[in-house]
A and B are shown apart, each in its own frame.
Chain A
Amino acid sequence: MLHSVHSSGFAASRSTRLRVSANAPSAAAATGGTPVPKNSVLVVGATGTLGRQIVRRALDDGYDVRCLVRPRPNPADFLRDWGAKVVNGDLTDPASIPACLVGVNTVIDCATARPEEPTRKVDWEGKVALIQAAQAMGIQRYIFFSIFDCDKHPEVPLMNIKSCTEEFLASSGLDYTTFRLCGFHQAVIGNYAVPILEERSVWGTNDETRTAYLDSQDVAKMTVAALRTDKTSRRTLTLSGPKAWTTREVIELCEKMADTNAKVTTVPTWLLKRTRGVLKSMQWAADAADRLAFAEVLSNNEVWSADMTETYRLLDMDPGSVITLESYLQRRASGSLIGCGFKDADYFSRILKKLKEVGAAADRTNFYV
Chain B
Amino acid sequence: MEALREKFFRANSDEGASISQAPSSKDNVADLNLNAINPYELGRQARQAFNDVWEQLSRVTSPTRSYIIDNVLEVEADADFQAPQAAYTTVLVVGATGRVGRILVRKLLLRGYKVKALFRNRAGVSKEAIPDSVEVVEGDVGDMATCQKAVQGVSKVIFCAAARSAFTADLLRVEDRGVMNMVKAMQDELYRRAKRSGTKFHSTSKKELADFNSRFHQARWNVTFAGTPEDAAAAAAEGRRGGNLMSRGAIAEVGARLPPRLPGGEHRTAGTEGIVLRARGDAHSYLCILETDDGYRYGARFPTKEGYLTVRLPYAAFRSEYQGQPPLDPARLVGIALRYENRRSGSGPSAAAALRAAKGLSERNMDELAAQRTRDQKFSLEVDWIKALPGGTEPDFVLVSCAGRSRPGIDPADLRKVIDAKRRGEENLRLSGLGYTIIRPGTLLDEPGGYRALVFDQGDRITESIAAADVADICLRALHEPEGRNKTFDVCYEYQVDEDNALYELVAHVPDKRNNYLKAAVASLARNT
B496 near A: Cβ within 8 Å? no
Are A56 and B64 in touch, CB under 8 angstroms? no
B25 near A: Cβ within 8 Å? no
CB-defined contacts of B21 to chain A, threshold 8 Å = none
Bound-state Cα–Cα, A42 to B69, Å: 24
Among the 9-residue stretches A4-12, A128-136, A348-356, the one with 4 or more Cβ atoms under 8 Å from chain B is A348-356
Smallest CB–CB gap between A317 and chain B, Å? Answer: 11
Bound-state Cα–Cα, A62 to B110, Å: 12
Interface residues, chain B, CB within 8 Å of chain A? 3, 47-48, 50-51, 54, 56-76, 78, 80-81, 103, 105-107, 109-110, 128-129, 131-133, 446-451, 467-470, 472, 513-514
Chain A CB count within 10 A is highest, among B56, B107, B133, B447, for B56
Are B78 and A187 in touch, CB under 8 angstroms? no
Contact for A228 among B105, B107, B128, B451, CB less than 8 A = B451
CB-defined contacts of A203 to chain B, threshold 8 Å = 56-57, 59-60
Bound-state Cα–Cα, A293 to B60, Å: 11
Are B78 and A61 in touch, CB under 8 angstroms? no
15 residue pairs bridging A and B, Cβ less than 8 Å apart: A39-B448, A49-B73, A56-B75, A60-B107, A61-B448, A62-B470, A82-B131, A85-B129, A182-B64, A187-B69, A191-B66, A194-B69, A291-B62, A351-B73, A355-B68
If A39-B447, A60-B81, A275-B57 touch, does A187 touch B63 (CB 8 Å cutoff)? yes
CB-defined contacts of B72 to chain A, threshold 8 Å = 190, 351, 354-355, 358
A127 near B: Cβ within 8 Å? no
Bound-state Cα–Cα, A366 to B52, Å: 11
> 0/1 per residue, A354-369, Cβ < 8 Å to B?
1100110011001011
CB-defined contacts of B71 to chain A, threshold 8 Å = 354, 358
If A183-B64, A191-B63 touch, does A292 touch B448 (CB 8 Å cutoff)? no
Contact for A211 among B64, B78, B451, CB less than 8 A = B64
Contact for A39 among B48, B132, B446, B470, CB less than 8 A = B446
A319 near B: Cβ within 8 Å? no
If A56-B78, A182-B64, A272-B61 touch, does A189 touch B472 (CB 8 Å cutoff)? no
Contact for B50 among A38, A47, A369, CB less than 8 A = A369
Are B106 and A83 in touch, CB under 8 angstroms? yes
A265 near B: Cβ within 8 Å? yes
> 0/1 per residue, A59-84, Cβ < 8 Å to B?
11111000000000000011011111
A122 near B: Cβ within 8 Å? no
A330 near B: Cβ within 8 Å? no
Number of A interface residues in the complex (CB < 8 A): 69
CB-defined contacts of B513 to chain A, threshold 8 Å = 60
CB-defined contacts of B69 to chain A, threshold 8 Å = 49, 186-187, 189-190, 194
Smallest CB–CB gap between B477 and chain A, Å? Answer: 12
CB-defined contacts of A339 to chain B, threshold 8 Å = none
**A63, closest chain B residue (CB):** B448
**B100, closest chain A residue (CB):** A62
CB-defined contacts of B468 to chain A, threshold 8 Å = 62
Interface residues of A in 34-66 (CB under 8 A from B): 37-39, 47-49, 52-53, 56, 58-63
CB-defined contacts of A350 to chain B, threshold 8 Å = 74
Are B60 and A267 in touch, CB under 8 angstroms? yes
If A62-B447, A358-B72 touch, does A292 touch B61 (CB 8 Å cutoff)? yes
CB-defined contacts of A341 to chain B, threshold 8 Å = none
> 0/1 per residue, A210-240, Cβ < 8 Å to B?
0101000100000010011000000000000
Bound-state Cα–Cα, A267 to B56, Å: 10
A295 near B: Cβ within 8 Å? yes
CB-defined contacts of B446 to chain A, threshold 8 Å = 37-39
If A37-B446, A61-B449 touch, does A187 touch B64 (CB 8 Å cutoff)? yes
If A189-B73, A295-B61, A358-B71 touch, does A60 touch B110 (CB 8 Å cutoff)? yes
A184 near B: Cβ within 8 Å? yes
**B103, closest chain A residue (CB):** A62
CB-defined contacts of A368 to chain B, threshold 8 Å = 54
Are B66 and A186 in touch, CB under 8 angstroms? yes
Bound-state Cα–Cα, A82 to B110, Å: 5
Bound-state Cα–Cα, A61 to B448, Å: 5
Are B63 and A183 in touch, CB under 8 angstroms? yes
> 0/1 per residue, A257-278, Cβ < 8 Å to B?
0000000010100001001000
Smallest CB–CB gap between B221 and chain A, Å? Answer: 55
Are A81 and B75 in touch, CB under 8 angstroms? no
**B69, closest chain A residue (CB):** A190
Smallest CB–CB gap between A78 and chain B, Å? Answer: 6
Smallest CB–CB gap between B64 and chain A, Å? Answer: 3
A204 near B: Cβ within 8 Å? yes
If A78-B75, A83-B105 touch, does A62 touch B60 (CB 8 Å cutoff)? no
Smallest CB–CB gap between A107 and chain B, Å? Answer: 16
**A266, closest chain B residue (CB):** B60
Bound-state Cα–Cα, A160 to B445, Å: 43
Are B3 and A265 in touch, CB under 8 angstroms? yes
Bound-state Cα–Cα, A325 to B110, Å: 25
CB-defined contacts of A294 to chain B, threshold 8 Å = 61-62
Chain A CB count within 10 A is highest, among B51, B73, B467, for B73
